[in-house]
């Protein structure tokens, strides 16, 4: 019999850097065995932007507005979907129960997922932004880096929302239905279709508390101003704050003991 290392009896902490990165690496490694998902994640936003550009072939002003908003909305939607399904699978396959019986902090798991999908979101957003700005002539007054920053925050928000709703879904069918339930109302109210101040006052008030409104607002700030405006900073902070809040709510839905 070989001599083996005994498990160290260090009490687990809420957040450990090495366990978080191990989790992120594992999630990304799972994806590398699924190249089709990666291809879809990266290509769909580009194809949609390409399509949009020629749908509004005659009015490039319209493309500027909608294109910039969509750069913020795509990462939110795709990360929402990917995360809700991935964490649901973790819950139903028993791996979540196994991990929580091990010295893994809930924060490690959530931060690991956020880190992995955040990385993916950076690649996705960088490609989509690059395509829009350099090849589809999206006319951005501000820095494309700021567009990328908002896109990344949106992706984090999507990851957070996906993680959170997966707790309320018992099957993949239900998880997918949460997409229209959680995302569509925000899509309608975020100012993509019509400026928010022209909506019915009640709807405008609702849109004021939905995080996607600030994501789109932030994108439009970059579109119109050369500098980082105070409104942009406010928008970015609100989106980041919402993402953090929902991530913490998501952590609360992970229970070590279940019935």
Interface positions with other proteins (CB under 8 A): 1-12, 16, 18-19, 22-23, 25-26, 29-30, 33-34, 93-95, 97-104, 255-259
Write down the least CB distance from residue 10 to other proteins, Å: 8
CB of 179 to other proteins, least distance (A): 22
Report the 10 Å Cβ neighbour count for 201. Answer: 8
Q: What DSSP string describes 180-191?
A: IIIIHHHHHHTT
Q: Between 31 and 161, name the residue whose CB sits nearer to other proteins.
A: 31
How far is it, in rounded angstroms, from Cα 254 to Cα 12? 16
d(CA 230, CA 238): 12
Q: What is the smallest separation between the CB atom of 117 and other proteins, expressed in angstroms?
A: 15
Q: Which residue has the tokens 């395509």?
A: 131
Question: At closest approach, how far in Å is the CB of 116 from other proteins?
Answer: 12
Name residues whose C-beta falls within 8 Å of residue 113's C-beta, 6 or more positions apart in sequence.
23, 24, 27, 83, 86, 87, 159, 163
CB of 9 or CB of 230, closer to other proteins: 9
Nearer to other proteins, 120 or 190 (CB): 120
Residues 6+ apart with CB under 8 A from 209: none
Residue with smaller CB distance to other proteins, 6 or 198: 6
Q: What's the closest the beta carbon of residue 257 comes to other proteins, in angstroms? A: 4
* Least distance from other proteins to the Cβ atom of residue 1, Å: 5
The least distance separating other proteins from the CB of residue 36, rounded to whole angstroms, comes to: 12
Residue entry with tokens 């100012």: 191
| Contact between residue 117 and residue 30 where contact means Cβ atoms under 8 Å apart | no
Considering beta carbons, is residue 102 or 233 the nearer one to other proteins? 102
Please give the full DSSP string across 65-115, using - where no structure is assigned: HHHHHHHHHHHHHHHHHHHHHHHHHHHHTSHHHHHHTTT--HHHHHHHHHH
Tokens of 171: 């099957």
- Residue number, 16 or 60, with CB nearest to other proteins: 16
Neighbour-count burial of 79, counting CB atoms closer than 10 A to its CB (0-12 exposed, 13-18 middle, 19+ buried)? buried
């Amino acid at each position: 019999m070989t001599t083996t290392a005994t498990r160290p009896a260090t009490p687990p902490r809420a957040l450990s850097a090495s366990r978080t990165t191990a989790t992120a690496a594992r999630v990304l490694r799972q994806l590398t065995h699924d190249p089709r998902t990666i291809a879809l994640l990266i290509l769909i936003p580009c194809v949609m932007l390409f399509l949009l550009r020629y749908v509004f072939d005659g009015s490039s002003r319209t493309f500027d507005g909608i294109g910039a908003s969509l750069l913020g909305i795509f990462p939110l939607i795709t990360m929402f979907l990917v995360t809700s399904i991935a964490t649901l699978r973790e819950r139903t396959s028993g791996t979540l129960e196994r991990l929580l019986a091990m010295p893994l902090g809930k924060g490690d798991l959530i931060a690991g997922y956020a880190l992995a999908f955040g990385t993916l979101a950076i690649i996705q957003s960088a490609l989509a932004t690059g395509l829009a700005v350099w090849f589809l002539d999206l006319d951005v007054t501000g820095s494309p880096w700021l567009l990328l920053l908002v896109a990344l925050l949106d992706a984090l928000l999507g990851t957070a929302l996906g993680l959170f709703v997966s707790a309320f879904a018992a099957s993949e069918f239900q998880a997918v239905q949460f997409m229209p339930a959680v995302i569509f109302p925000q899509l309608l109210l975020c100012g993509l279709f019509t400026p928010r101040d022209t909506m019915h006052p009640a709807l405008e008030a609702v849109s004021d508390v939905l995080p996607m409104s600030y994501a789109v607002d932030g994108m439009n700030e970059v579109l119109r101003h050369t500098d980082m405006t105070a409104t942009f900073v406010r928008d970015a902070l609100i989106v980041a704050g919402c993402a953090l809040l929902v991530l913490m709510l998501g952590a609360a839905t992970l229970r070590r003991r279940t019935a």
